[in-house]
Amino acid sequence: MNDLGSIAERLAANAYAVDEGHAHIEVNQEVVQRTGSGPLLVRVCPAHVYSQGEGGRIEVAWAGCLECGTCLAVAPDGALTWHYPRGGFGISFRSG
Amino acid sequence: MEDEVFDVIVVGGGVAGCVTAYQLARAGRSVALLERGAVPGSKNLSGGVFYWRVLQEVFPDFLESAPIERRITRNCLSLLNESSCVTVDYWDARLAEPVNAVSVLRARLDAWLAEQCEEAGVAVLSGVRVDGLLRHGDSVVGVRADDEELAARVVILADGVNSFLARDAGIRAMEPTKHLAVGIKSVLGIPAQRLEERFGLAEGEGTAYAVVGDCTQGVAGGGFLYTNSDSISVGVVLRLDDLAASGRSASDIHDHFLSHPVISRLVAGGTLLEYGSHLTIEAGPQVASQDLTRPGLMLVGDAAGFTLNTGFTIRGMDLAAASGIAAARAADAALTDGDYSQQSIDRYRAELAATFVGRDLKTYAKAPAFFENQSIYREAGLLAADIMHGIYDLDTSPRAHLRDVVRRAVSGSDLGWRQLAGLVLGGMRSL
């Protein structure tokens, strides 16, 4: 197969305008822990935005988000605060 | 600008939003098109086949002027197994005359559509995220963006599958995961001539593959592969309830599909131009049967749920365009009457019902239920390959008639006769 590289390498080839200091995704760690939904978030995101850190804490690399909304659709109520980045920021598809 | 009242504000510069805005500007209305991306198209992603003929009445020279990739004349439907593949390969010169479907890349197509809007007099405002709707009593009278308020007589939501605005306005709830699917797509660059040789294409013509089976490792959904001018759009669509239940990683399934022997040969040598994902609606008829209007407000395109997966054709852009045409007509009539009440805005529903959008959503109302049949994603493809193997594997044993080859394959399959009959009849009736 074509070597597409790691997901991180693939995202690096995409165009983003990162809105430094304005995360558009926030994780409610308590809800995620209680519902055990961490691993679900980690594996459904095509961009690997979520990863499980120490003590099961979910880390969010929101700058690489493709803004599809899959995580929000599968997450338990209250687990995520998720909105689109501010106007003009975020992923900028060149093919789409 | 604060004192200006637009006739219409359209939120979202995709196919639905651009067509709506264009039609209304051409009718002489003052229109603002608000797009959260830095440029129109930059947030939009489709598999990429557009059944474009609905646009003929809007842009008669679409095929010559718009940035289309290829004219699709060859449609392949593949049942993919781990080590076999059965494909119905349909090429027809009639699909080129008149042109029926084209492959597109949305960043290019939507930018062109927005340009047409601008030329028609639409105020295209990019880089503007709309945060909420302005209301006066029951009526929607504008939008709020970056603490600025923009007033309009009619607001049209074309803000896509996640339509936060429709959710915030209480028109739509979060959809259950079985109504949604995530599309994950890679665009791989391959020179035009090599593409045409590889797929046996005449210049400018293209192929569209719809694939079901091992491409999604048993998860409900499918794979797709479309040829562009000098690239291939290839990827998977995974129903969210099944993806969640499968325990699998979405990106792994995408990679599994691209590394399947059948697919990897088709995309060999391609250089990755873009890796993207987008949510899509798997149960269009169900989602679209919900509310579409409020006083002063209409939903179009994905925001309304206008998508159809018939197994053979995967449609969204044509329905988006048609809903935009219908919404523009209804809004124009409401503006003429100066009446933005529920009853007046509901002309949109009547307009839709009269078009193929309303009809097709009804015709395919049972398609989503058909695709809940898990045997489609595994046993059906294995059975098809077993039948073909029985025909082609001349192992020196005496040959049997086709009837007996099929009989043997079915009795050896996890799909019994009864299930197979149900599948075939169900497919005939719902697709």
Residue A55: pLDDT band by 50, 70, 90 thresholds? Answer: confident
> Closest partner residue to B277 among A5, A40, A66, by Cβ?
A66
pLDDT of A66-77, one tens digit each? 999 999 999 999
DSSP B399: P
| Average pLDDT estimate for B90-99 | 96
pLDDT of B197-214, one tens digit each? 999 999 999 999 999 999
d(CA B202, CA B222): 27
Is B38 close to A96, i.e. CB distance below 8 A? no
Residue B105 has pLDDT above 60, yes or no: yes
> Closest partner residue to B105 among A48, A70, A96, by Cβ?
A96
d(CA A7, CA A12): 9
In sequence order, the β-bridge partners of residue B8 are: B31, B154
pLDDT of B211-260, one tens digit each? 999 999 999 999 999 999 999 999 999 999 999 999 999 999 999 999 99
Is B42 close to A13, i.e. CB distance below 8 A? no
| Average pLDDT estimate for B390-419 | 95
Query: How high is the mean pLDDT of chain B?
Result: 96
pLDDT of B116-136, one tens digit each? 999 999 999 999 999 999 999
Architecture (CATH level 2) of domain A7-92 = 2-Layer Sandwich (3.30)
Is B250 close to A92, i.e. CB distance below 8 A? no
Host H or E run for residue B392: helix B379-392
d(CA B24, CA B324): 10
Cα–Cα separations (whole angstroms), residue B208 to B47, B77, B182, B191? 10, 9, 19, 17
The answer to whether the CB of B272 falls within 8 A of the CB of A5 is yes
At CB < 8 Å, which residues of chain A contact B? 1-2, 4-5, 7, 10-11, 13-14, 17, 40, 42-48, 66-70, 72-74, 83-96
| Average pLDDT estimate for B266-284 | 97
The token pair at A39 is: 């691993």
Is A70 close to B108, i.e. CB distance below 8 A? no
Instruction: For tokens 């503007």, name the residue.
Output: B128
> Closest partner residue to B278 among A7, A68, A72, by Cβ?
A68
Question: What are the DSSP calls for B245-313, one per residue?
Answer: HHT--HHHHHHHHHHSHHHHHHSTTPEEEEEEEEEEES-HHHHHTS--EETTEEE-GGGGT--EE-SS-
d(CA A82, CA B144): 19
The token pair at B411 is: 């009795």
Residue pairs between chains A and B whose CB atoms are closer than 8 Å: 150
Is B41 close to A96, i.e. CB distance below 8 A? yes
Q: Mapping DSSP to helix (H, G, I), strand (E, B) and coil, where does residue B49 land?
A: strand
Residue B295: pLDDT band by 50, 70, 90 thresholds? Answer: very high
Higher pLDDT, B416 or B1: B416
d(CA B164, CA B147): 17
Host H or E run for residue A8: helix A7-12
d(CA B283, CA B365): 8
Instruction: For tokens 């873009």, name the residue.
Output: B274
Where on the phi/psi map is residue B147: left (φ > 0), alpha (ψ -120 to 50), or beta?
A: left
pLDDT in the model for residue A3: 83
Quick one: chain B helix, strand, coil %, rounded to 5? 40, 25, 30
pLDDT in the model for residue A21: 96
pTM: 0.97
pLDDT in the model for residue B1: 47
Q: Which residues contact B14 (CB under 8 A, 6 or more apart)?
A: B41, B44, B106, B110, B158, B160, B301, B302, B320
The answer to whether the CB of A51 falls within 8 A of the CB of A61 is yes
Query: What is the phi/psi pair of residue B354, to 5°?
Result: -80, -15
Is B128 close to A43, i.e. CB distance below 8 A? no
Residue of chain A with shortest Cα separation from B274: A14
d(CA B159, CA B11): 6
Residue B3 has pLDDT above 70, yes or no: no
d(CA B97, CA B218): 38
Cis peptide before B98 (omega within 30 of 0): yes
**A78-87, B1-10, B164-173: least confident range:** B1-10
pLDDT of B127-160, one tens digit each? 999 999 999 999 999 999 988 999 999 999 999 9
| Average pLDDT estimate for B336-356 | 97
How many CB atoms are closer than 10 A to CB B359? 12
Measured at the CA of B109, the angle between CA B302 and CA B50, to 5 degrees, comes to 60
pLDDT in the model for residue A56: 87
For residues B147, B148, B154 and B158, what is the CA-based torsion angle, rounded to 10 degrees? -60
- By C-alpha distance, which of B301, B413, B414, B308 is closest to B370? B308
Residue A1: pLDDT band by 50, 70, 90 thresholds? Answer: low
d(CA B237, CA B245): 15
Is B276 close to A66, i.e. CB distance below 8 A? yes
Residue B2 has pLDDT above 60, yes or no: no
d(CA A60, CA A64): 9
The token pair at A52 is: 């499980």
Instruction: For tokens 């759009």, name the residue.
Output: B233
Residues of B with Cβ-Cβ distance to A67 under 8 angstroms: 43
Question: What are the DSSP calls for A28-75, one per residue?
Answer: -HHHHHHHT-HHHHHHH-TT--EEE-GGGPEEE-GGG-----HHHHHS
pLDDT in the model for residue B31: 98
Where on the phi/psi map is residue B142: left (φ > 0), alpha (ψ -120 to 50), or beta?
A: left
| Average pLDDT estimate for B262-266 | 97
Residue B184 has pLDDT above 90, yes or no: yes
The answer to whether the CB of A88 falls within 8 A of the CB of B126 is yes
Measured at the CA of B340, the angle between CA B334 and CA B345, to 5 degrees, comes to 70
Task: Kindly give the residue spans of alpha helices, DSSP state H, lying in B82-129.
Answer: 106-119
Angle between helices B15-26 and B106-119 (to 10 degrees): 10
